[in-house]
């Protein structure tokens, strides 16, 4: 069981590593705007989800149909490794979404949208 202090350390490492991944990806992924993560430290790392957000549904669809999708998995896996986090299957920890979809279904409220998504584990 991790202490709150341990959670804070992991969180800082995770944010730093994901920020680097985000900045590396922005110039290379058309329409990619930002990423976020959610974590339940009671079931860590099983309940860690990283969501990559694109500006439009069209750019999201393009990323899913291109070689970008495996690259996003690889970049996410590298970020987690840099943060000292090991996961069994990176595909269970990565999701893609779009600003357009959030606006359409949750009036742009990302907190509500992310909480509404079903857990994968």
Per-residue confidence in pLDDT tens, the chain, 121 aa: 778 898 899 999 999 999 999 999 999 999 999 999 999 989 999 999 999 999 999 999 999 999 999 999 999 999 999 999 999 999 999 999 999 999 999 999 999 999 998 765 5
pLDDT at 84: 95
The domain containing residue 44 runs over which residues?
4-116
pLDDT at 2: 78
CATH code, domain with 33: 3.30.300
The b/e string for 40-74 (b: 16+ C-beta within 10 A; e otherwise) is ebeeebeebbbbbbbeeeebbebbeeeebbeebee
pLDDT at 120: 59
- In this structure, is residue 121 part of a structural domain? no
Burial of 3 (0-12, 13-18, 19+ CB in 10 A): exposed
Strands 48-54 and 94-98: parallel
Instruction: Output the pTM of the full model.
Output: 0.93
- Rounded to the nearest 10°, the torsion over CA 50, 27, 16, 54 is -30
- In this structure, is residue 58 part of a structural domain? yes
- In this structure, is residue 12 part of a structural domain? yes
Give, as one character, the DSSP assignment of residue 48: E
Phi, psi of 102 (to 5 degrees): -65, -40
pLDDT at 117: 84
């Amino acid at each position: 069981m991790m202490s709150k202090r341990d959670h804070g350390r992991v969180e800082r490492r995770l944010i730093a590593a994901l920020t680097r991944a985000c900045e590396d990806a922005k110039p290379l992924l058309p329409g990619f705007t930002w990423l976020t993560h959610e974590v339940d430290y009671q079931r860590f790392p099983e309940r860690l989800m990283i969501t990559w957000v694109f500006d439009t549904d069209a750019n999201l669809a393009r990323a899913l149909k291109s070689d970008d999708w495996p690259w996003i998995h690889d970049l996410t896996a590298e970020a987690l490794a840099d943060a000292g986090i090991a996961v069994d299957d990176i595909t269970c920890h990565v999701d893609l979404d779009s600003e357009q979809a959030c606006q359409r279904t949750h009036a742009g409220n990302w907190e509500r949208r992310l909480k509404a998504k079903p857990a994968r584990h």
